[in-house]
Amino acid sequence: MKKKWLAGLGMTTMLMGSLLAGCSGSDETNSEGSGGSGGEKVEVTLAGWGGNPSEQKLLKQTIADFEEKFPNIDVKHEVISEQYMDVLKTRLIGGEGPDVFYLDALEAPALIETGVVEPLDEYVTEDFDTEDFEKPMLEAFQVDGKTYGFPKDYSTLALFYNKKMFEETGVEVPKTWDELREVSKALTKDGVYGFGVAPELARLYHIAQASGGEVVKDDKANFASSEVVEALKPIVDQHLEDKTSAQASEVGANWGGEMFGQQKAAMVIEGNWAIPFLEDTFPDVEYGTAELPAINGEKGTMAYTVGYVMNAASEKKEASWKLISYLTGKEGMETWTSKGFALPTRKSVAEKLGYDEDPIRGALVAGAPYATVWQEGTNLPIIMNNFNNQFIAAFLGDRPLDDALKEAQKQANSEIQ
């Protein structure tokens, strides 16, 4: 997940002229691009980043099922392992972009703005059932009333808690952030922190806005506002004053899931990706999950989603749409998410696979309808970098929170300008 968030930090927004030059005649339908039952075979290129072997196996199976259903379409799957967005943009500029490709919601606004992503509304038929998608995930790929992609999977955040530690301490799973802070005090003992925190904007975004502030306003940084500072102060205070929380690096771990698995934190906030990790690496840890604690009486969580989109310059649009509609349709999505490595963005598929009632994944699915998607305009990567650089200084006590965020906001908006 971290790789996905960091994959495209070098945002490029000057693609328009070069890319549109390759679009002439791309709307014409020919026998090669039909993907129908007759005529020559069509090869559609699908590009994405890599995954673990189990995920790759699932995708391979889903593609094989598609090719069996559409024997006149072959799918060439290309894996871009490093610097995904940079490589993708270079290929698009050079006129060698894939027909269909992964697009992270974080990167979607900037890339869509260049005109290189094909609007999909005219391809959608009634039986595709767009109402079945979790609304926040679908809206992440919609701009000005047009849909540019369909989400293939997602994860929200949930509270992971150590059942044994909770039972031994005699505390209940917190339902509010104030309760989490109090419970953390009781759980912090014997070298164990009550709460493992990730002090970065991608995890704290919905918390930062919980008091009515806006992290991003008019596509510029706004996180130095008093409302945002007020909302984030408890995160810093718990670490510096209560001393009941820590980030993973402070206990020798690489990330929250590892910190939790090593039982150096009784609670962490993580996503679906932590479940297979804990099963494989720390199978003896008994844990549960819950929806994130409410703040100011409101439920909230983050969501991270990736969509399948079509290259606007593709000469095989009909076949490309057939691939996208299968991969994000009920049949293809069920195969892709069947092992639980990713959560299905279609509500019907989540219900069919039992994830909505699953004792571990149920809390993640429950958060989908009210989740805040990790996405906000074209400049969020710049805003994120500057926030993270200064917030960690405040978190570690090197400088006051309001001063740190003022400097970060000034620097971010200078770069944007």
Q: Give CA–CA dist 337/313, Å, rounded.
A: 30
Q: Give CA–CA dist 234/242, Å, rounded.
A: 10
Tell me which residues of the chain have a pLDDT lower than 50: 1-34, 36-37
- pLDDT tens column, 117-149: 999 999 999 999 999 999 999 999 999 999 999
| DSSP H or E segment with residue 103 | strand 100-104
How high is the pLDDT of residue 93? 87
Query: What percentage of the chain exceeds 70 in pLDDT?
Result: 91
Q: Give CA–CA dist 229/210, Å, rounded.
A: 11
3-state secondary structure at position 49: coil
Residue 214: how many CB atoms within 10 A of its CB? Answer: 15
- pLDDT tens column, 372-394: 999 999 999 999 999 999 999 99
**The architecture CATH gives domain 2-154+304-362:** 3-Layer(aba) Sandwich (3.40)
Residue 120: how many CB atoms within 10 A of its CB? Answer: 24
* Residue-averaged pLDDT of the chain: 91
Return phi, psi of residue 255, to 5°. -160, 175
Q: Are 149 and 108 in contact (CB under 8 A)?
A: yes
How high is the pLDDT of residue 40? 85
Return phi, psi of residue 62, to 5°. -65, -40
What tokens were used for 11?
């945002």
- pLDDT tens column, 171-202: 999 999 999 999 999 999 999 999 999 999 99
Task: Sort 38 into a burial class: Cβ within 10 Å, 0-12 / 13-18 / 19+.
Answer: exposed
How high is the pLDDT of residue 39? 64
Q: Are 268 and 259 in contact (CB under 8 A)?
A: yes
Q: What is the CATH number of domain 156-302+376-416?
A: 3.40.190.10
How high is the pLDDT of residue 38? 54
Domain limits, CATH 3.40.190.10, in the chain: 2-154+304-362, 156-302+376-416
CA distances from 180 to 42, 164, 232, 272, 379 (A): 55, 17, 15, 21, 32
Length of the chain: 417
